[in-house]
Amino acid sequence: MTTIAASRPAFSLDLWWIPRSIALGLVAFIIFGPLTNLFLWAVTERWYFPHALPLEYGFSYWGRVFSPRGTAMESLTNSILVAFLTVALAMALAVPAGYALARLRLPLRALIMLTFLIPQAFPNLPVYVNIARLFYQFGLNGTVAGVVLVHVTHGLVYAVWIATAAFASIDRELEEAARSIGASPLRTFRDVTLPLAAPGLLASAIFVFLESLDEFTGSYFVGAPDVNTMPLLLYTASAGGNYQIASITAVLLLLPSVGFMLVIERFLKSDVLSKVGH
Amino acid sequence: MTNDTPNRILGLLLVLPALAVIVLLFVVPLASSVVGAFRVNGGFGFGNFIKSYELYTSDIIFTVVIVSLSTLLIGIFSIAIGGYLVLGENPRAVAILRWLYRWPLFIPFIVVGQVLRTFLAKNGLMNNILIEVGLITPLQATSFLDWRGIVIAFVWKQTPFVALLVSGAMAALDRSTIEAARNLGASRLRILIEIVVPQVATTLMVGLVLSFVTMMSVLSVPLMINAQSPTMITADIAFRINAYGDYGVANALGLISLVASGCVGWFYLRQTLRERA
């Protein structure tokens, strides 16, 4: 590839930058245009038709979102509480399951792996509708516990699959070496396996955290109106025409997601990625 | 292995709690949604489907057309992106595209809905920029917040996901056939269509099937971009439950979306089985 490019005369290479920049500029506009609009709305005080840009900028709506007694603060704390509980429960379920799937002999292993994929392979909406009905009978509707359970079900796919890949990518000989110098199986797991699998497990925990933070449909049926999360706040603010509050909420949801996208490759190394689904 | 049996039991015990959550909180409600679709006034029958057919035929067609069109566009764009990343000759342009295309990957659907709702509106930033640049006049500005808005939202959000899978598969291909075709003078477009795409077809199909299923059950995008009729089945399901508490019709509509996803999944499975045979 480089030899072809180098053998070309310099001027033809420069000409190619015209269609290239137009195409790349178009892609950049398609991706960043809408995002720019969101950030503009988040710092707008007044903006109405037919003005192309906001008439007045400011942070007064941010003050309103973060005021201690506002509904927004309640959704923010709810969302973070639900997300942390979801991660704790999902990882408590996924770490043993992932270890067993990666290291122990299991009957019907492929079928078990596929079972965790079911929530991704079927449309979720009819399921949430019926979970809401089921939870209503157990008094779980409109409780934090109910919302956490719904989020865990959806997050387990990532948690189990990535945890399995993380354990599978560890060199078995390191564990055998620890066992041969007299460490118990539990101690080997705690001192050798777990630290080595930690980056992959952290990645799956972040995945679950983001899934929970961003989840709308399940929270809409199981949580609303008692447990308000940030996506629900975004929806009600936007439906009420309050674009500033909606956009600020959207920015708050956006930052962790984009941040993770930029660092994911540090956590999910290729040796773990190549084991996903095996 | 001598300690095989206890090992197996231990393994099953470790997997069981996670498995129980999936079965109790997903498989059971899924089954009850299928059963609930046929439940009419204490008995069983097709009443819910007749009602769904009478009230929501246009929405069902609308949903299938929109999701299919989005899937097609996602496929085309992700092949284009993946193809350029693998066959592009300018390392700098390839690096820029690689950095650019992934941004919407982890942005939640609800945020995509809000972002595009303000961007595509009649007085949104898109029309404002087009007017400022002089491409259209203020009178020509139209709102895209109808079926086009939903398609744009789906394509915007899902293309990076499929492109990520496809470009990964393309990067793992054996480069010697590509180089050989290149040396014989084949154009890059021809190499992409005739050599690269057939080899990554399975990955592409997996990505598209997953996207299809995801789009079939997204509630936030139709609610935020276009909740007037015709709208998507998901918005109708939410409406049936919130306005009437009508679980029968909601489950019937759910089963219809399930069948649509099932058809796509079945088509994919048949295709891969035929290739392996």
Interface check for B139 against chain A (CB to CB < 8 A): the answer is: no
Query: Which residue on chain A is closest to B35 by alpha carbon?
Result: A130
Same domain? A229 vs A268: yes
Residue A116 lies in a domain: yes
Q: Are residues A21 and A143 in the same domain?
A: no
- Tell me which residue has tokens 């030899």: A3
Question: How far apart, in whole angstroms, are the C-alpha atoms of residue B57 and residue B249?
Answer: 13
Tally the domains of chain A.
2
At residue A44, what are phi and psi to the nearest 5 degrees? Answer: -95, 135
Q: How far is A236 from chain B (nearest CA, A)?
A: 10
Q: What are the DSSP calls for A63-80, one per residue?
A: HHHTSTTSHHHHHHHHHH
Is the pLDDT at A278 greater than 70, yes or no? no
**Are A268 and A152 members of one domain?**
yes
Tell whether B257 is within 8 A of chain A (Cβ): yes
Q: What is the pLDDT of residue B2?
A: 47
Structure confidence at residue A94 as a pLDDT band (50, 70, 90): very high
C-alpha distance from A232 to closest chain B C-alpha (Å):
9
* Eight-state DSSP code of residue B105: G
Query: Residue B48's closest CA among B58, B34, B62?
Result: B34
Amino acid making up residue A8 = R
Our CA-based measurement puts residue B12 at a distance from the nearest CA of chain A, in whole angstroms, of: 7
Query: Where do the H-state alpha helices sit in A43-70?
Result: 60-65
CA distance B99 to chain A (A): 9
Q: Please name which of A4, A260, A205 lies closest in space to residue B88, comparing C-alpha atoms.
A: A4
Q: Which is it for strands B43-44 and A56-57: parallel, antiparallel or unpaired?
A: unpaired
Whole domain around residue A12: which residue ranges?
A: 2-58
User: What token pair was written down for A249?
Assistant: 């909420």
What per-residue confidence (pLDDT) applies to B151? 93
Q: Is B133 on the interface with A (CB under 8 A)?
A: no
Q: Report CB contact under 8 Å: A28, B100.
A: yes
| A174, A115: one domain | yes
What CA–CA distance (Å, rounded) separates B103 from A164?
A: 27
CB-CB: which of A52, A129, A238 is closest to B237? Answer: A129
Q: For residue A153, which residues of chain B lie inside 8 Å, CB to CB?
A: 21-22, 25-26
B230 at interface of A, judged by CB pairs closer than 8 A: no
Asked whether the beta carbons of residue B251 and residue A129 sit closer than 8 angstroms, the reply is: yes
Same domain, A20 and A153: no
Residue given tokens 């996670």 in the structure block: B18
Question: What pLDDT was estimated at residue A1?
Answer: 42
Are residues A137 and A210 both part of a single domain?
A: yes
* For testing contact with chain A, the best of B106, B220, B232, B241 (most A CBs within 10 A): B106
- Out of B25, B117, B123, name the one closest to residue A50 (CB): B123
Q: If pLDDT is split at 50, 70 and 90, which confidence band does A50 have?
A: low
CA distance A10 to chain B (A): 13
CA distances from B236 to A62, A173, B152, B242 (A): 34, 56, 21, 10
Residue A212: which CATH number?
A: 1.10.3720.10
A112 in the same domain as A11: no
pLDDT (0 to 100) of residue B73? 97
| pLDDT tens by residue, A111-158 | 888 788 778 777 788 888 889 888 888 888 888 999 999 999 988 888
Encode pLDDT of A8-26 as tens digits: 454 555 677 888 888 899 9
Contacts of A244 in chain B (CB under 8 A): none
The pLDDT assigned to B158 comes to: 92
What's residue B1's pLDDT? Answer: 43
Q: Give the pLDDT confidence of A148-157 residue by residue, as tens digits.
A: 999 999 888 8
**Greater confidence, A32 or A54?**
A32
Residue A2 has pLDDT above 80, yes or no: no
How many helices (H) and strands (E) chain B has is answered by 14, 2
Contacts A217 to B, Cβ<8 Å: 217-220
CB B154 within 8 A of CB B147: no
Selection from B137, B210, B205 nearest residue A119 by Cα: B210
Residue A277 has pLDDT above 70, yes or no: no
Instruction: Using a CB–CB cutoff of 8 Å, tell me whether B266 touches chain A.
Output: no
pLDDT interval class at A267 (50, 70, 90): low
Provide the CB-side half-sphere exposure for A264 (13 A, CA). 18
Classify strands B43-44 and A44-46 as parallel, antiparallel or unpaired.
unpaired
Distant-in-sequence, close-in-space partners of B60: CB < 8 Å, separation ≥ 6: B52, B233, B253, B256
Examine residue A110 and state whether it is found in any structural domain, yes or no: yes
Which chain B residue's Cα is nearest to A246?
B114
Lowest mean pLDDT among A216-220, A263-267, B23-27: A263-267
Within a domain: A63: no
What's the CA gap between A158 and A151, in Å, rounded?
Answer: 12
A176 vs A272, higher pLDDT: A176
A39 in a domain, yes or no?
Answer: yes
Question: What pLDDT, on the 0 to 100 scale, is given for residue B79?
Answer: 94
Per-residue confidence (pLDDT) for residue B65, from 0 to 100: 93
Query: Mind telling me how many Å the CA of B42 is from chain A's nearest CA?
Result: 17
Question: Judged by CB atoms within 8 Å, which residues 162-201 of A form the interface with B?
Answer: none
Q: Are residues A101 and A221 in the same domain?
A: yes
Please report which helix (H) or strand (E) contains residue B43, including its range: strand B43-44
Q: Which two tokens stand for residue B143?
A: 């709102």
Can you tell me the ipTM of this complex? 0.80
Euclidean distance between CA atoms B107 and A89, whole angstroms: 24
Same-domain pairing of A14 and A135:
no
pTM score, whole prediction:
0.84
Chain A interface test: which of B15, B78, B119, B256 (most A C-beta within 10 Å): B15
Domain co-membership, A13 together with A77: no
- Write down the pLDDT at residue A276: 65
Does residue A19 fall inside a structural domain?
Answer: yes
Domains of chain B: 58-276 (1.10.3720.10)
Of A58, A81, A100, the domain-final residue: A58
pLDDT of residue A268: 65
> Looking at the domain assignment, is residue A64 inside a domain?
no
How far apart CA B118 and CA B125 sit, in angstroms, is: 7
Share of chain A above pLDDT 90, in %: 10
Whether residue A107 sits in one domain with residue A239: yes
Per-residue pLDDT tens digits of chain B, which is 277 residues long: 445 677 778 888 888 999 899 988 888 888 888 888 888 877 788 888 888 888 888 889 999 999 999 999 999 999 999 999 988 888 888 999 988 888 888 788 889 998 888 888 877 788 888 888 878 777 777 778 888 889 999 999 999 989 988 888 888 888 888 888 888 888 888 888 888 888 888 888 888 988 898 888 888 888 888 767 678 888 888 888 888 888 888 889 988 888 888 888 887 777 777 766 6
- Let me know whether A40 and A97 are in one domain: no
